[in-house]
Amino acid sequence: MGPYRAAGVWCLAACLLAGSSASARADWEIAYERDAGELRQAQPIVSADGTTVWAAGMEHALATGRFRRRVGLDDLEAVLPDGRGIAVEPGRRAITIAPMQAAGGAPRARARSRGIVGSVVASRDGRWLVTHEGRWLLARRTTDLRVHRVIADVGEDDEPSLVALADGSVMIVHRRDCDERGCRSMRVIPESGGESTVAWAERAHLLRTSPAADVIATVESHERIVVRDGATGAVVATHAHPGGRVVDLAVAPRGDVIAVASSRALAVYRRTGATYAVASSRGDPTSSPPEDLGSAPRGLAFSPDGAWLAAGGDSLLVLRRDGTTRRSEAPPPFVAALPTGFAAGDASSFAVRSRRLGSGWTATPRLLAYWERADATTVTATAHDADEMAGHGELDAWALAVVQRYVEAAREIPEARLRRIVVARRDESGRRIVELLGIASGGCDPTDDYHRFVEDGPWLVHVTLATYAPFAELGPLFTAFLDAPFRAAPSRRARVAMLGRGGCGGP
């Protein structure tokens, strides 16, 4: 008999905040956190072999968090077994399938949608997509994205939940299948059109299952989590999640763990005994008032073996089951002698990038300093985990990877050209340094950006100077912000890249 065939209750295994003051070791600990950049992709994707995680147009090794490459698909929805990625284009009016390669790869298939694209899920065998487009649920072939059949008309205001199951079917729950008695889920075989349903007596707005669908977890009334037997729909556990409105759920492959992302908490529930016990109390969502996590995760994914949990949002947060947090020191303050006219800016208005940097649960990523001047010139200094780039050992390869990873505008520059304009060197103490000077050409944000990265022990410090001022006037600013804080000599080989911004809303 499986773990959910008998009555029971889930327990809260951890609130998963690094640096917990609890003396007991939590079941899940943060392995690392990575800045998601300006894309802020909510839903991370873990590869079928459990070695890779994709988020925000980037590929990392799941176990180490080391950056591998940028991929050419930013709004990634799924990765097929043959390595192709599925993405929804900006504006969510078209779907693309293309190789998971560096930026610039031509799509192999593209289709205009029948409305605004909502959820997209690929069948486990990679042959079919089920998509929510406007009012329609559609089955599309992954070979050419042609519509194979219409599954259902779900109306204009619905937000159906779609889950791919191990047997090739897709489970769906939507409001059109709800009435005064409750809702039902529908299992669909995309190719043949076979369907079956499981009814229950509650109104669900979010559904997730284990791969075999023997465990179903739903969110009802936005904060109440209900766990059901997948075969019968019978309730086996309920819990009123105390962390605010639930935005995503994930069920571990064995069905023994459920992760919950909400507006004030990231929590993991494990079924043990008959009580809910908090194993890690920092950031406890049961506190009064609950802690506001600000940039809380908005999408969750388990690895196939259930040992890793990836949470996406403003950052990529990865947790390990029965693991320990890699404790690292907070980076030192970034100190600069401010030139005339500069003052410390409001870090909360770090609206330079319209987001908060990191969750605050780990040492990095972290905003070190933010200064501004009346002419809209700004300087930001951020710290990242230097180990993220450890997979790129040789100096020039490391420098290229750093720029592709952290400079958004560089994503649109062909790699051959980028190699010619990135300046990499080692200083007298052996630290690796990379620079990029970018002159904007058009677009709705025509600021010029000047970047310096310094690998300083366990930290990679990134300083960005953004300004409208003429290049000839910037010498004192380069000295104050890019050279003096690092006690580094100025580069004698600095080169300028013309960064074409494009129109507002895109590069």
Q: Which residue has the higher pLDDT, 452 or 472?
A: 452
- Give domain limits for the chain: 11-321, 342-499
Farthest CA pair distance, the chain: 75
**Mean pLDDT, range 332-357, rounded to an integer:** 73
Identify the architecture of domain 342-499 in CATH: 3-Layer(aba) Sandwich (3.40)
Confidence check: pLDDT of 237 > 90: no
Handedness of CA 36, 38, 44, 48 (dihedral sign): negative
> Residue 239 in contact with residue 10, Cβ under 8 Å?
yes
Q: Which of 23-27, 50-54, 442-446, 476-480 has the lowest mean pLDDT?
A: 23-27
Q: Which residue has the higher pLDDT, 304 or 160?
A: 304
Q: What is the DSSP string of 21-83?
A: --SSPPSEEEEEEEE-TTT--S--EE-TTSSEEEETTEEEETTT--EEEE-S-SSEEEE-TTS
Query: Best-predicted range by mean pLDDT among 83-92, 102-111, 300-309, 443-452?
Result: 300-309
Give residue 347's pLDDT band: very low, low, confident or very high (50, 70, 90): low
Q: Which of 99-113, 320-334, 416-430 has the lowest mean pLDDT?
A: 99-113
What pLDDT, on a 0 to 100 scale, did the predictor assign at position 495? 47
Confidence check: pLDDT of 500 > 70: no
**Mean pLDDT, range 310-332, rounded to an integer:** 80
Q: Which of 133-142, 189-198, 210-219, 368-377 has the lowest mean pLDDT?
A: 189-198
What pLDDT, on a 0 to 100 scale, did the predictor assign at position 444? 53
Give residue 95's pLDDT band: very low, low, confident or very high (50, 70, 90): very high
Which positions ≥6 away from 146 have C-beta within 8 Å?
Answer: 111, 140
Confidence check: pLDDT of 481 > 60: yes
> What is the number of alpha carbons within 13 Å of residue 450 lying toward its C-beta?
22
Q: How far is CA 38 from the centre of its chain?
A: 11
Which positions ≥6 away from 277 have C-beta within 8 Å?
Answer: 11, 12, 13
Q: Which residue has the higher pLDDT, 322 or 92?
A: 92
Query: Best-predicted range by mean pLDDT among 208-222, 436-450, 481-495?
Result: 208-222
Confidence check: pLDDT of 278 > 60: no
Q: What is the mean pLDDT of the chain?
A: 78
Structure-block tokens of residue 96: 């693309």
- Domain 11-321 matching CATH 3.40.50.300: the answer reads no
CA distance 83 to 101: 9
**Mean pLDDT, range 143-170, rounded to an integer:** 85
Q: What are phi and psi of 348, to 5 degrees?
A: -70, -20
Confidence check: pLDDT of 343 > 80: yes
What pLDDT, on a 0 to 100 scale, did the predictor assign at position 6? 30
Give residue 163's pLDDT band: very low, low, confident or very high (50, 70, 90): confident
CA distance 380 to 367: 8
Check for a shared fold between 11-321 and 342-499.
no
Confidence check: pLDDT of 392 > 90: yes
Q: What are phi and psi of 478, to 5 degrees?
A: -60, -45
Spell out the SS3 assignment of 216-271: EEEEECCCEEEEEECCCCCEEEEEECCCCCEEEEEECCCCCEEEEEECCCEEEEEC
- Secondary structure (3-state) at 188: strand
- Percentage of the chain surpassing pLDDT 70? 75
Give residue 288's pLDDT band: very low, low, confident or very high (50, 70, 90): very low
Give residue 19's pLDDT band: very low, low, confident or very high (50, 70, 90): very low
What pLDDT, on a 0 to 100 scale, did the predictor assign at position 60? 95
Q: What is the pTM of this model?
A: 0.86
pLDDT tens-digit series, residues 20-39: 333 334 578 889 999 887 65
CA distance 208 to 165: 10
Give residue 121's pLDDT band: very low, low, confident or very high (50, 70, 90): very high
